[in-house]
Structure 1
Amino acid sequence: MLNEPKTQESATNNYAFTLLLTGYGILGYIDGTLPYPRLVIKENGQDQVNHSYSLWIRQHKLILSAIIASLTKTMVSFIRLYETSKSAWDKLESTYGKPSKGHIMALKSQLRKITRGNKIITESTHLVKSIVDEISVLDTPVGDDYKELSTAIRARDNPISFVELHEKL
């Protein structure tokens, strides 16, 4: 459980969450740029209830709820003791956000073993693209295994699109 590798799906979910929170202007709740406000502030020398405190708590609870709703039961139990969306997000990021060497090696092995077999070319190319995309998400170069193919693609005057590559294959 603790060493569960980052998958393309979890990376995509992370990316989607980041986009969503950025779009709503609330990414600061999980990246720490909107810190936990004080309940009481001084205003004109007097202690006053900080109205931004209740807004912050509400937003944080909504974000934490959305994070929890997107997780498996195992992952929820892992973060259930964290009180803020930022602390839960940080724990998930540190636990699942770093790809393991074994997972990367397994992906590269899958890529080397892909054959068309009885699959139609569309299935094969989409499988290749899926694995390469996952490797890319993990910030890992595909490696020397595909030097010949990448050299041929780079030698072209115009870049090749995935659709064009698919048609040629």
Structure 2
Amino acid sequence: MDSQDLLQFVDGTHVESLKEITTDDKTEVNPEFVGWRKIDRLALSWIKATVTKAVLGHIMCSKTAYDAWSFLEKSYGSQSPLRIMLLRKELLLSKELLLIKKGTMS
């Protein structure tokens, strides 16, 4: 992400531009917002493409790359109770998949 200058969208340092601007008593879509949204969506899609299916379920409804990254950071960046719960859930799912694979091979 850093090589593509997307890190600032993930860590929140490049904040969302105003959606609309008013010029000459006329309200219109802010071109900076359009550009921001396009790049943010790219960053969000990269995040979603690199996580497991179990984790994807937790960030699928994230509206921005920052929202998704914040969830991941809170969940996996420390020994939080949520992180422990998610890791246990992933471990159980892995065990279940292993049992299913063993069952289909016999």
Structure-2-length-normalised TM-score: 0.66
Match of 2:69 in 1: 89
SS state at 2:69 partner: helix
Match of 1:46 in 2: 26
SS state at 2:2 partner: helix
Match of 1:61 in 2: 41
- Higher RCO structure, 1 or 2 (CA under 8 Å, sep 6+): 1
1:99 shift after superposition: 4.3
1:33 shift after superposition: 1.4
Match of 1:144 in 2: none
Root mean square deviation of aligned Cα = 2.0
Q: Are the structure 2 counterparts of residues 58 and 96 from structure 1 closer, same or farther at C-alpha, using a change threshold of 3 Å?
A: same
Q: Are the structure 2 counterparts of residues 83 and 43 from structure 1 closer, same or farther at C-alpha, using a change threshold of 3 Å?
A: same
Match of 2:57 in 1: 77
Distance in 2, matches of 1:32 and 1:24, equals: 16
Match of 1:5 in 2: none
1:93 shift after superposition: 0.6
> Residue type matched to 1:75 in 2?
V
The answer to whether residue 5 in structure 2 is matched with residue 25 in structure 1 is yes
SS state at 2:13 partner: coil
Distance in 1, matches of 2:59 and 2:69, equals: 9
Spell out structure 1 runs of 4+ moving beyond 4 A.
Answer: none
Aligned length: 81
Return the structure number with greater helix share: 2
1:45 shift after superposition: 4.8
Deviations 1:65-107 (A, max 9, x none): 111111100000011121111001000011011147xx9xxxx
> Residue type matched to 1:91 in 2?
F
